[in-house]
Amino acid sequence: MSLKFIRVFVSSLRQHLPRQNNLLSGFQIRTITAMEVAPVDKKDNLVQDKNRTRYKRRRQWDDRKENGESQEKKTCDKPFERIKRKKMAMLLGYCGVDYYGMQRNPGVPTIEEDLLKALYEAKYITEDDFNNQQNAQFQRSSRTDKGVSAARQVVTYSYTLPTYVFESNVASEDERKAYRITSQKIDQVNEVLGYYKGTKSYHNFTEKKHFQDPSSLRYMMSFVLERVFMESEMEFAELLVKGQSFMLHQIRKMIGLMIAVVRGHTDISTLEKSFGKEKVMIPTAPGLGLVLDK
């Protein structure tokens, strides 16, 4: 039964499937004849373009003659003044009160703005140099923050502060005037400041820096309490820090952390931790006592 069924199925397929000849008969082959394109003579176009250009130039020359223009060179209305530039270095000192730092900042009073204005009024720089100081190759050796003064702006910084800030139990005005720092306290201050010596990462002592940033590495040569003196019936101390370079707020934060350690608000481990990878919040000392010494 199965063999008979297969034979019937095959014969049915032969009857219904189209033959190969019928498939081929449905196709029609057509030929397309390519159109002949007439060659274009490029030489004629070039000649026409040249003639048109010559005619245009001739018309321009005729128009200039009609307007009375000659081949003579025109002279400038204003004589040209050649400015001979010289590279100069300036040594200046300033009081930073009521100023927003050294660097020029549009919209706020700065030392650099007044300096450039004075140079322009004295005709040491041109108006273009005043508007764009880079034209005059203006450079500064360093910069100061808001309210910071400079004795000589050409890097050693000094910071002056009253000695009573090293004690946490001095509150009244009379106690502040009567306070006198001891030799033991001076030794303690110098011991804490000694931790800053050498090359360390000061990423926690500035803004927008991280531990792996190479620019956070700074070399401090020395940091000491230089002297103690009296002024207006109050005792003051002068701190002197010497380094290759400094970052924004770095010195003020170094002093702020030192005061916190000396007063007992934290210990020396916090200072050591500030040079590591961990983020440490450090207090910032006021900018009023900071002076760029030399």
Residue 209, Cβ density class (10 Å: 0-12 exposed, 13-18 middle, ≥19 buried) = middle
* Catalytic residue from among 44, 63, 128, 145: 145
Question: What tokens appear for 173 in the block?
Answer: 């005005």
From residue 196, give the alpha-carbon distance in Å to each of 79, 221, 257.
60, 9, 11
For residue 157, say whether it is annotated as part of any ligand binding site.
Answer: yes
**Secondary structure (DSSP) of 50-103:** HHHHHHHHHHHHHHHHHTT--SSPPPPSS---PPPP--------B--TT---SS
Catalytic site includes residue 145: yes
Instruction: Return the closest-CA partner of residue 288 out of 241, 244, 255, 243.
Output: 255
d(CA 159, CA 196): 15
d(CA 106, CA 104): 7
Name the residues annotated as catalytic.
145
Residues of each annotated binding site = 157
Which residues make up each annotated binding site for substrate?
157
